[in-house]
Amino acid sequence: ADTITAASLHNPEVRSAFPLCAKNLMDGLSKNNHLKFNGRQQLSFFLKGLGMSVDEALKFWTDAFTRSTSMSLEKFNKEYRYNFRHNYGLEGNRINYRPWDCRTVLSKPRPARGEYHGCPYRDWNPEKLSATLAAMNLTQSQVSSILDSAKRNEFTLACTKAYEFSALSEAPGTANPSEPLITDQTHITHPNLYFDRARRRRT
Ligand code: SF4
């Protein structure tokens, strides 16, 4: 796949391959021109997992945080730049952190009001979740099936179903079952794995 840059994150085709957790973070970021700490970490590691370079990542975050007039470039450089470079192992203890898998995402404190990290299959109420899934062209029975998994606390299974169903809805002429067959090999347990699969299927 092609390299992901700050500019390509605005490409709808790239964005549509994001799992719901990453879409939610991008939405929160563009709405507020800011993300709180856990949100910054979760999205920053996801972007790193896409193979985005630290230079492109800094370009992306600088633009996102300073786009409105509320934050100056100077303030961004003083208060946030270190954090993003740190995530790439370029500051402080220089640990080359690995992108967060779903288990790590789910191990963080749940998002409070005004926060966007976490996993929507756990953190969103059923109304918001079903409206969002319906907008992804899933049928009512598919949405119910995903919501059932979420209710049983099987969040990654819910997410994998959402992936499988949207793959089916993009392949015209195929049957649209309400229960996909999910094996150990197809179970999505990492936001970057969701993205890689969704990208591969389209190219
Ligand atoms: Fe993201 Fe994983 Fe939750 Fe899917 S299951 S939305 S990839 S954290």
Report residue 175's pLDDT band, with 50, 70 and 90 as the boundaries.
low
Query: How far is ligand 1, taken at its centre, from the CA of residue 28, in Å?
Result: 16
Per-residue pLDDT, 93: 80
Q: What is the Å distance from ligand 1's center to 119 Cα? A: 5
Supply 173's token pair. Answer: 């002429």
Residues 116, 24: Cα–Cα separation, whole Å: 6
* ipTM of model over 0.85: yes
pLDDT of residue 176: 66
Residue 107 banded pLDDT, cuts 50, 70, 90: very high
At 35-72, the pLDDT tens digits run 999 999 999 999 999 999 999 999 999 999 999 878 99
Give the binding-site residues of ligand 1, using a 6 Å CB cut-off: 19-21, 102, 105, 119-121, 155-156, 159, 191, 194
What is the residue with the minimal CA distance to atom 5 of ligand 1? 156
